[in-house]
Amino acid sequence: MKITTNLFRMATICWVVVFLMSEPAEAWPEDRAAVPIQVAYDLGFDGEFKRGVWTPVRATITNHRDGDFLGEFVVESEDVDGVPVTFAAPSQSFTLAAGETKTYVQYAKVGRLPWRVLAGIKEQGAEQYLDQKYFDQVSGGNRKATSYFVLQLGPSLPISRSRLQSSLAVDAELVEVSVLQEAQLASLPDKWIGYESVDLMILPTRSSGLLQQLSKAQAQAIRDWVFQGGRLILFAGKQAQALSSAGHPFADLIPGKPTALITDWNTSGLENYGNAQQRIFLDGEVDSLAALAVSDGRVLLRDQENAQALYPLIVRSVRGFGMVVYVAFDIDTPAFEDWDSASRVLEKLIAVGRNAGSEDAALSVQRVNHAGYQDISGQLRAALEKFDAVTPVRFVWIAALLVFLVLLIGPLDYYVLKKLKRPDLTWATFPLAVALVGVIVFAMTRALPSETAWANQIRIIDVDVESGVVRGTDYLAVYSPQVQAVDIQTAQPPRADGQLQIERQFTIAGWHGLPGTGLGALGRNSFQTYVNHEYQIDTQTAQLSSVPVQHGGTKSLRSRWSGQATLDRSSELHADPISGLLRGTLTNPFDIELFDVEILYDGRVYPIGQSFKPGQSIDLFDISGASQGIDNYYARYQTGSSKGERRSWKVMEEPVPRIVKQMMFNQGIGGAKYTGLLNRYESFLDISHALAYNRAVLVGRASQGSSEFSVTSDQTVQPGLAFNFYRVVFTVSTEK
């Protein structure tokens, strides 16, 4: 038996050897064609991302075929309701030559827990994935929507995450700090929306070839992200001249004109700034200082803290709706690596640039969970999902029905049957009581909900007069009385908003998340999905197809877009050299009437009035007597007058206009100390920082305005509430 077995094994081995030797060499390319591509996937930055915001998903693809590979990059995930979503775009269909390697970026949102993301490559026109990778909770890296991301580009700098967390002075369960590093800039997003999760970016420029790694599109994306509301710490140093050269995407991030490179400069101001225990010894050839003639910004630190100071070291300036902290020296040099105070300098710079204030220390998890959301964006979403024609079934009604049922089948049933001396009838009265309550519930479900589908919208348009940059943030809440799928289109360029001709450059739309751990929130673990239906988001055309809305339910969406416009510059504003109050003539720059109009500057609100007609001009001197501090005007008094009643923030009841106004100037009004809520999920809307840096902001509402969203479904969707807010940022002269 053993001999037979051994002979069989030897025969098998010989047959395999003969088969392999007889196979022609030309067959190997066919084997390679079975696996035609090699793909490496990456999610977020440095392996981390925030749930509920646009996140870059990268695929680096190598074509091993002999011919071209026609492929498509697709990403799948689930939204805040657990409904599957496919993210795709025509721009992610590609042709890859034989032997070629390229990186493609798709933008997607990751929804509620337990989260999952599928990134995959298909052949064009195919249904099945040729290559794919799953990311899930085992992969790690997911962070709350309210987390604070510091993205440091280039070589690692001495930044302590734990010390930054402590400096935020807020519960880490609400705002968790992450310090992310991307050493290879070639993989960065090529659209500004790819940085939506980033709160603060640190960009050193000295390292050899660092800036050269950026394509023009990637550099433009960083610039656009700043102008759309991002915060950047830019170490210019030796590269200042190159960065400010005509045509460079970073040219208008520099708050002045570099005049010279200084090889011998006084470091006493920097040493005091870093509370240094030892001096820093510079190499004049390496540690050059870029002398800057500041034209727009505030100098925070000079080379010396006395009258002999010659050069600005740190300048903070407003750019569009964002901010740049310009640093005139390079920090990624051997001298700073050996200096023990470099980390303290970085921490102070981050404190200058960050957009999360110490007012968040008033928060705790226990304080905010009762509302079901932890962020003021949740209150905005809840308010937008209220429809005048729809009466929601309130919890107190359900509780009252349960109490009524218990009384009916308990004490009432007992005493009535006891009085009738027929306890055996309980077999009949019990089902009758249940049936009665069932009829009441059925009647409520038929009578209370509207039989019409409705859509509420909010539009916020911001215009920066100096740069011509325009940004839009639009919200949509759709109500449906029955289960149905709707198609949603966004406005396409060219557009006129308030007779303002806008050259749209980028638009993206998707579902709107709900930070927190309440029902339907991003932080709530749930495996239940009310609608088993997949929908698609085209990230290039900003169209959503077959979005499911459940019976008597709502669906919330949000779009963000950017563009350019030329606005009337006839308004001339300046600060009074003695009082510091805003002066000059202000003209309504739109061809529409604005209502509830104010202009804000340097911590004060100047009420213009209930109406501001097209072309109307006012002298700000005439209304300066009615101006008040921003916190008094918006937070402390009911009417904006010191004689009015004090007002408190009601987490469940505030109207949409007041919520939007709070989000627009959250830090100026008092932030979390006043509202009891974070403003982290959509903190880009808050431009309080601009008010202290030679910027005045005109804000008002319009009764008319174009709609961003168009909803198509089997049932006609009626327009509900529509709010149109406009903000215009003016540069204020300080020379008069």
Distance CA 146, CA 142 (A): 12
Q: Which of 70-84, 176-190, 409-423 has maximum average pLDDT? A: 70-84
Selected residue with higher pLDDT from 398 and 230: 230
Q: Is residue 390 part of a domain?
A: no
Judgement on whether residues 471 and 598 belong to the same structural domain of the protein: no
Give the tens place of pLDDT for each residue, 215-272. 999 999 999 999 999 999 999 999 999 999 988 999 999 999 999 999 999 999 999 9
DSSP code at position 201: E
This prediction has a pTM of 0.88
Q: Percentage helix, strand, coil, to 5, in the chain?
A: 30, 35, 35
Percent of the chain with pLDDT over 90: 59
Percent of the chain with pLDDT over 70: 87
DSSP code at position 513: P
Residue 359: its pLDDT value, please? 47
Q: Average pLDDT, stretch 167-188?
A: 84
Task: Report the mean per-residue pLDDT for the chain.
Answer: 86
Give the tens place of pLDDT for each residue, 496-528. 455 578 888 899 999 999 998 888 889 888 766
Determine contact, residues 229/322, Cβ cutoff 8 Å.
Answer: yes
Q: Report the run of H or E that residue 663 belongs to, with start and end.
A: helix 656-664
Residue 38: its pLDDT value, please? 95
Judgement on whether residues 148 and 241 belong to the same structural domain of the protein: yes
Judgement on whether residues 667 and 580 belong to the same structural domain of the protein: yes
- Kindly report which listed range (385-394, 420-429, 469-478, 637-646) carries the lowest average pLDDT score: 637-646
Judgement on whether residues 137 and 187 belong to the same structural domain of the protein: no
Residue 417: its pLDDT value, please? 77
Determine contact, residues 58/44, Cβ cutoff 8 Å.
Answer: no
Give the tens place of pLDDT for each residue, 50-76. 999 999 999 999 999 999 999 999 999
Judgement on whether residues 323 and 424 belong to the same structural domain of the protein: no
The CATH number assigned to the domain holding 138 equals: 2.60.40.10
Hey, what's the torsion of the CAs at 383, 385, 387, 393, to 10 degrees? Answer: -100
Q: Is residue 478 part of a domain?
A: yes
Judgement on whether residues 510 and 605 belong to the same structural domain of the protein: no
Q: Is residue 447 part of a domain?
A: no
Distance CA 416, CA 233 (A): 78
| β pairing state of 582-587 and 495-497 | unpaired
Judgement on whether residues 429 and 309 belong to the same structural domain of the protein: no
**CA dist 124 → 31, 56, 90, 275 (Å):** 21, 22, 11, 60
Residue 642: its pLDDT value, please? 53
In residues, how long is the chain? 736
Backbone angles phi, psi at 96, to 5 degrees: -115, 120
Domain encompassing residue 89: 1-143
Q: Which of 2-6, 149-153, 487-491, 637-641 has maximum average pLDDT? A: 149-153
Give the tens place of pLDDT for each residue, 605-635. 999 989 999 989 999 999 999 999 998 888 7
- Kindly report which listed range (446-450, 536-540, 633-637) carries the lowest average pLDDT score: 446-450
Judgement on whether residues 412 and 507 belong to the same structural domain of the protein: no
- Kindly report which listed range (5-19, 164-178, 186-200, 633-647) carries the lowest average pLDDT score: 5-19
Determine contact, residues 538/89, Cβ cutoff 8 Å.
Answer: yes
Determine contact, residues 300/309, Cβ cutoff 8 Å.
Answer: no
Number of domains in the chain: 5
Judgement on whether residues 512 and 592 belong to the same structural domain of the protein: no
Q: Is residue 712 part of a domain?
A: no
Is residue 596 predicted with pLDDT exceeding 90? yes
Judgement on whether residues 203 and 348 belong to the same structural domain of the protein: yes
Q: Is residue 126 part of a domain?
A: yes
Q: Is residue 387 part of a domain?
A: no
Distance CA 723, CA 708 (A): 12
Judgement on whether residues 170 and 80 belong to the same structural domain of the protein: no
Give the tens place of pLDDT for each residue, 552-561. 889 999 999 9
Q: Is residue 386 part of a domain?
A: no
Is residue 697 predicted with pLDDT exceeding 80? yes
Determine contact, residues 167/153, Cβ cutoff 8 Å.
Answer: no
Judgement on whether residues 545 and 646 belong to the same structural domain of the protein: no
Cis peptide before 431 (omega within 30 of 0): no
Residue 446: its pLDDT value, please? 66
Work out the number of other CB atoms within 10 angstroms of the CB of residue 395: 8
The CATH number assigned to the domain holding 286 equals: 3.40.50.880
Distance CA 174, CA 375 (A): 9
DSSP code at position 198: -
- Kindly report which listed range (255-269, 278-292, 350-364) carries the lowest average pLDDT score: 350-364
Q: Is residue 220 part of a domain?
A: yes
The CATH number assigned to the domain holding 465 equals: 2.60.40
3-state SS class at 657: helix
Of 356, 380, 409, the domain-final residue: 356
